Structure 1
Amino acid sequence: MARPITNIKRIEFTKPEQNRIALHELEDSVADHKTALQSLLVLIQDLENSGVLEILHAALNSKEKIASIALEQILKPSVLNSVKNTMIAVGLVGKIDPDRIGALADAVVVGLQRGHESLESNKKVGVFELVKALRDPGVNRALAFVLGLLRGLGERL
């Protein structure tokens, strides 16, 4: 039977040897990623030439001041109201059936086209033409929609 190993020698490198190993690993990594590093250096030089690096450096040195100004602006009532309104609008859009929105959008596009055609014709609309239009199924359907919309709005207001 084999005897258990009781004496383990650990190889401990000195600080200069550790540095030499780390540099060798770094050289290998640089060689493996040569193209990416060259592109990164070109990008950094372009940022330096355009002054962006200087701006970033100044922004980092003034981060507390910038943060306080940003916070002050965000806490203004008008900004808070805008955020609240945006959240309400997103919630509203989320509640509406996409098929209905699509149909309504198509109807608005066609309605705008027909409206512009009517304006370009310069034809005057009289009372009798309004009464005649009420018999048109499309106009009647649109009026029924608008009346339903107004009733729904009135219930909630």
Structure 2
Amino acid sequence: MAIPIKTIKKKELTAEESKRQKLDELQSLIAEQDHVFNKILEITGELDDAGVFDALKAMVKAKDELAKIAVEQAGREPVTNLINHALNASGVVAAIDPEVTAKIGASVKSGLEEAELYRDNGHKVSIFELMGALNDPDTNRAIKFGLDFLKGMGKELGRDTRSGDV
């Protein structure tokens, strides 16, 4: 029967041995992946020829000035207005049921396709045709939707007027 192992001695590498081992690993990795290494060198050479590294170096040196310019530009009224519009629009879109926007989007697409079919036919719509179009259930549905939309929009605009905002 063998003697049980009671202690494990871990071989500690010296700094020189550790450095040598890492160099050997790197050397074998470069040898195995030489095509990738060559591509990297080719890309960096092309970037250097194009002056990209010089531009990056200049940007790093001027980082404080660039940060100052960026902050000044971000603080301009058109930029802050754009940010406020984006936040307001995202709030509105987030509040709308996605099924509703999908249905409206599909309806708009279908309406544009239908309008494109008859766009250049040269036909002028008479007042009687316009009145008759109200009898078409599809047209009537779209007109009613538009009127309901305008009514809801008007109600919201009226709230602002009553509170003294407009």
> Normalization by structure 2: what TM-score?
0.73
Greater alpha carbon shift after TM alignment, 29-38 vs 111-120: 29-38
- Quote the residue 2:64 is aligned against: 64
Instruction: Provide closer, same or farther for how the CA distance between residues 154 and 25 of structure 1 changes in structure 2, counting only shifts above 3 A.
Output: same
Structure 2 counterpart of 1:55, which letter?
A
1:102-117 map, 5 Å: 102-117=102-117
- Quote the residue 2:120 is aligned against: 120
Instruction: Give the secondary-structure state (helix, strand or coil) at the position aligned to 1:135.
Output: coil
What value does the CA root-mean-square deviation take over the aligned residues?
Answer: 2.8
Q: Structure 1 residue 154: deviation in Å?
A: 0.8
Structure 1 counterpart of 2:121, which letter?
S
Instruction: Provide closer, same or farther for how the CA distance between residues 38 and 134 of structure 1 changes in structure 2, counting only shifts above 3 A.
Output: same
Runs of at least 5 residues in structure 1 that lack an aligned partner in the other structure: 1-9
- Quote the residue 2:141 is aligned against: 141
Instruction: Provide closer, same or farther for how the CA distance between residues 109 and 26 of structure 1 changes in structure 2, counting only shifts above 3 A.
Output: closer
Partners in 2 of 1:78 and 1:33 — Cα distance?
51
Partners in 2 of 1:131 and 1:58 — Cα distance?
69
Structure 2 counterpart of 1:37, which letter?
F
- Quote the residue 2:77 is aligned against: 77
Runs of at least 5 residues in structure 2 that lack an aligned partner in the other structure: 1-10, 158-166
- Structure with the largest fraction of helix: 1
Percent of residue pairs bearing the same amino acid type: 32
| Superposed CA offset, 1:97-130 (max 9, x none) | 2322222222222222333444422222222212
- Quote the residue 1:6 is aligned against: none
> Normalization by structure 1: what TM-score?
0.77
Partners in 2 of 1:11 and 1:98 — Cα distance?
63
1:4-153 map, 5 Å: 13=14, 20=20, 23-24=23-24, 26-31=26-31, 33-153=33-153
| Superposed CA offset, 1:123-154 (max 9, x none) | 22222212211111111111110011011111
Instruction: Give the secondary-structure state (helix, strand or coil) at the position aligned to 2:134.
Output: helix
